Amino acid sequence: MSGYLCSRLLLYTGGRHLTSFFAPSQHVLPDKLCRTYPLPCHARSFSSRSRSDGSSGQEGENTLHAPRRELDFQLSRLQINAVLRANEQSVRFPEFDGRSGPSPVLRFESNQLSANTPLEDRRSSASCLQTRGMLFGMFDGHGGHACAQAVSERLPYYIAVSMMSESVLEDLEAAMETLRPVPPILQWYKHRNDYNYRESAALYVNHLRVYWQELLASEEHGDGMRPTDALIYAFQRLDTDLSLEAQVPLANDLMRNTAIQAAFAGCTACVAHVGPEGVHVANAGDCRAVLGVQEHDGSWSALPLTQDHNAANVTEVERIWQQHPASERHSVIVDDRLLGVLMPLRAFGDVRFKWSRELQQSVLENGDSDLEALNLHQYAPPNYLTPPYLEATPEVTYHRLRPQDRFLVLASDGLWDEMTSDEAVRLVAEHLTGIHLQAPVSASQLNLGQMHQLLLQRRARATPALDLNGATHLIRHALGTNEYAEMDQERLATILALPSDLARMYRDDITVTVIYFNPNFSKTAN
């Protein structure tokens, strides 16, 4: 770590904590809708994402007269491993799914590391019990964790229900009407540290029921939606429900506070449905899904299945420009942010970028919630002239699995701030095969001394992986790799030892899920 960074760490110790007003709970939706399987725990730069209230998250850095504090960065290897592995998860599946052939997924490995307090990322993984396929979700919250929490709990249900046939939905409705046990919709795979909003479960079930009732009333639903349509419709419908729940009276103050926080906070979402047809990925925001492909000659390549929805995406910027008058062309995207405030250009929640000013004012002023305690304030982005400016409609990509498709990396932008898609695939491939992959170097670029030094570095890098979990392996390298592409133990220890009021200044929350495919599935499918 540079002396410049160390000096800043010794000088700047201000900053505010983002406080959760909801106690973590290990409860999920009622057993009549799902099965929950708690699983045992094994255990570089500042991200410029803005909060939805317009603040940058850099208050601590700009504090004048912050007290000097000596920080202890001497974490042992054992302590480093404990921090990195605290949220580690690994789940393996039978090679044959018991229905009609090989399972497309052999296993998945997941992990997350917080920078915010509390963590604003969420993840989800579940099997669809009434249809075929598995759902893996990545949710990156901003302006707090409330929106990411609600979406991670609810979106898999909306997707699964969308794909169910009319007859299955009729069975669900009949069971609800007669108070009989409802056939479970999802089989969840949860880590013991994953959160759930127990207090709002009844509301979530009721609105999910309203959704399937509307599908039953449709004459076109029939055998259920195809995955592409199900993903798009589920994203849109859940975002609408989040918006409506914040506007109507609810059963109690806690439920209302949860609904308001979820609507005014925001989150990006990337969901992969892996089923008999292949992989469908729905993305809204700047999480990313990257396929690891092993070519016939043994080499590896990265195949992106998503595009980041931010100002670097020219097509995305053009889409937003076309939705507003030409007179707003220079004010819709300012400093690579939506209205100069928000970096992702698609997201759930964030009603400050969707509602009219009048509706925002009405909800915030006429409700009984303590807005200061909820960290909500009346605020409208500059040049807020023709809302909505933001939507949660995802971009969906379909990929038919092939024998050379080995794994899929889903990750929040905290990982992609630190490494490229190609680097992530190379690291997982090395971890999977145990073979260290070296980038070619031209001898004409190096003198003899430099070549000797490079050889020593590569020998050091070729040591066995420290982690059994591929997601942990990615996080370790994202934070510990220095400018010479070496694993720097001192750098890693320093970054992991940062107190919560400083960590967010130098990195983002990181959440990673690596899904490993069954090669026998693609051979059978093809």
Q: Which residues of the chain have pLDDT under 70?
A: 1-73, 97-100, 367-369, 373, 435-446, 451-465, 522-526
Angstrom distance (rounded) from CA 234 to CA 231: 5
pLDDT value of position 389: 98
pLDDT for 317: 97
Q: What is the predicted pLDDT for the residue at 279?
A: 98
pLDDT (tens digit, 9 = 90+) per residue, 412-432?
Answer: 999 999 999 999 999 999 999
Residue 465 confidence (pLDDT): 66
The per-residue b/e assignment along 482-501, b for 16 or more CB within 10 angstroms, e otherwise, is: eeeeebbeebbbbbbbbeeb
* DSSP reduced 3-state for 441: coil
**CA–CA separation, 56 and 230 (whole Å):** 35
The model's pLDDT over 8-62, given as tens digits with 9 standing for 90+, comes to 333 332 332 222 323 333 334 444 444 443 433 333 333 334 444 444 433 333 3
**pLDDT score of 74:** 73
Burial of 53 (0-12, 13-18, 19+ CB in 10 A): middle
Q: Judge if pTM exceeds 0.75.
A: yes
Q: State residue 374's pLDDT score.
A: 74
Q: What pLDDT, on the 0 to 100 scale, is given for residue 526?
A: 54
pLDDT at 97: 67
d(CA 241, CA 370): 22
pLDDT at position 366 is 78
Query: Which secondary structure element, helix H or strand E, spans residue 55, and what is its range?
Result: none
Is domain 77-517 given the CATH code 3.20.20.80 in the classification?
no
* Closest by Cα among 124, 200, 218, 123 to 162: 218
Q: What are the CA-CA distances from residue 197 to residues 152, 439, 485 (Å)?
A: 11, 46, 41
Domain borders along the chain are 77-517
Which pLDDT score, from 0 to 100, does residue 456 have? 63
